[in-house]
Amino acid sequence: MSVSELKERHVAAIEMVNSLRERLKEKRRLLLDTDVAAFARSQGKRPVCFGATDLVCCRTLQGHTGKVYSLDWTSERNRIVSASKDGRLIVWNALTSQKTHAIKLPCPWVMTCAFSPSGQSVAGGGLDSVCSIFNLNSPNDRDGNLPVSRTLSGHKGYVSCCQYVPDDDNHLITGSGDQTCVLWDITTGLRTSVFGGEFQSGHTADVSSVSISGSNTFISGSCDATARLWDTRVASRAVQTFHGHDGDVNTVKFFPDGNRFGTGSDDGTCRLYDIRTGHVLQVYHQLHSDDTNPHVTSIAFSISGRLLFAGYKNGDCYVWDTLLAQMVLNLGTLHNSHEGPITCLGLSADGSALCTGSWDSNLKIWAFGGQRKVN
């Protein structure tokens, strides 16, 4: 068989694959005759109701002198780490509001932070394109600062996000403005795998957020308006690409069951995707009080997934009923709310409290019905 005949067969095979792919997409689209909210309403489901004292701001954490960009809880729920434009990571005791560590970073332009699963270390990164690891048990240096225990260097753009692999203090995933995600071995400081970059299935713009499920799967969100599913054992290509947003995907978060995930975007919407089908299950959108669509900056799910917490650039923080796609509460209208855009939020491991961070340089801890957990 000649080279020209092989090329013709190759082209024909590609056309057949593309045709089958489009037919499969059309079949799937025809099966999408409803969404989660419509089905829930048809089953007589009612939205979650919040009373006046069911969600209250119980603590304000003051100490940063610049905009708060990121926060993370420890697994034992009593400590929080936050990152601010003031160039510091602060570790807080969430029960007493006291600072246990104030860590000066090598670069003041910090964008992200994370607690290790054991709570013994924290990570932070930003515009210097590196992720710095700090062992909280290390003694301070001569200047009174906590020294960097490991520097993870290899990105060619700013480090926008980081998260430890669950139950593993020695591995961390970062996302970057160089359009890649990297899995790091912290013990050696070396890259284990690079996701994206020269591979065609990678992101085509800055990576803004990552969320990890288990030890082998993570989702990334990007300024290319997509989210991508990755398997850490196969770095050469994304497992799946999820479309639907009309703006940058600023935040991604796995649903508690690991089969779905949520996104928040500059287009003002949150979306719930199903990994198994690749489809959008629900869109969460509502015009705000000023009839605008402010950017979604951060999201988190309750333990059961019934509630979706979404922070917005205009200072609103919506609590969505994920089942009925209804906004059931706006923390931005409550007493003692933030005075600036919400930049980050996170739920404690046991579901008993929500923490929000803002441009007003403060963090606030919101308690659910005193001691009641939200499921």
| Structure confidence by residue, pLDDT tens digits, 232-282 | 998 888 999 999 999 999 999 999 999 999 999 999 999 999 999 888 999
Please determine, for residue 143, whether its predicted confidence score (pLDDT) is greater than 70: yes
- Are 2 and 100 in the same domain? no
Number of domains in the chain: 2
Asked if residue 129 lies in contact with residue 142, where contact means CB atoms within 8 angstroms, the answer is: no
Q: Are 165 and 173 in contact (CB under 8 A)?
A: yes
Q: How far apart are CA 116 and CA 112, in angstroms?
A: 13
Residue 194 lies in a domain: yes
Q: Are 342 and 330 in contact (CB under 8 A)?
A: no
pLDDT at 48: 87
Co-location of 205 and 91 in the same domain: yes
Same domain, 103 and 19: no
Backbone angles phi, psi at 145, to 5 degrees: -105, 150
pLDDT number for residue 373: 44
Residues 2 and 93 in one domain: no
CATH of the domain at 318: 2.130.10.10
Q: How far is residue 16's CA from residue 11's CA, in Å, rounded to a whole number? A: 9
d(CA 220, CA 203): 9
330 with 309, same domain: the answer is yes
Q: Is pLDDT at 215 greater than 90 in this prediction?
A: no
How would residue 3 be classed by pLDDT, with cut points 50, 70 and 90? confident
Q: Region 37-43: what's the mean pLDDT?
A: 85
Q: CB–CB of 58/363 below 8 Å?
A: no
**CA dist., res. 102 & res. 106, Å (int):** 13
Indicate the average pLDDT of the chain.
91
Q: What is the pLDDT at residue 288?
A: 62
Q: What is the CA radius of gyration of the chain?
A: 22
Q: Is residue 375 part of a domain?
A: no
Residue that the structure tokens 């209208």 belong to:
333
Whether residue 79 is contained in a domain is answered as: yes
Whether residue 302 has pLDDT greater than 90: yes
Residue 374 lies in a domain: no
Look at residue 373 and tell me if it is in a domain. no
Examine the domain organization and report whether 11 and 102 are in the same domain: no
Percent of the chain that is helix, strand, coil (3-state, to 5): 10, 45, 45
228 in the same domain as 174:
yes
Highest mean pLDDT: which of 47-51, 134-138, 195-199?
A: 134-138
Q: Whole-model pTM?
A: 0.89
The pLDDT value recorded for residue 38 is 84
Q: Is the pLDDT of residue 335 over 50?
A: yes
Please check whether residue 65 lies inside any domain of the structure.
yes
24 with 45, same domain: the answer is no
141 and 119 in a common domain: yes
Contact 322, 41 (CB under 8 A): no
Phi-psi region at 300: left, alpha or beta (left = phi > 0; alpha = psi -120 to 50) = beta
81 and 13, same domain (yes or no): no
Cα 71 from Cα 300, distance rounded (Å): 12
What distance lies between CA 101 and its chain's CA centroid? 24
pLDDT for 370 beyond 50: no
Structural domain harbouring 213: 38-368
pLDDT(191) > 80: yes
Q: pLDDT tier at 198 (50, 70, 90 boundaries)?
A: confident
Which SS3 state, helix, strand or coil, does residue 255 take? coil
Tell me whether residue 15 is exposed, middle or buried, using C-beta atoms within 10 angstroms of its C-beta: 0 to 12, 13 to 18, 19 or more.
exposed
Q: Do 296 and 344 have their domain in common?
A: yes
pLDDT surpassing 60 at residue 299: yes
Question: pLDDT per residue over 81-139, tens digit each?
Answer: 999 999 999 999 999 999 999 999 988 899 999 999 999 999 999 999 999 999 999 99
157 shares its domain with 285: yes
**pLDDT band with cut points at 50, 70 and 90 for residue 52:** low
Alpha-carbon distance 109 to 323, whole Å? 39
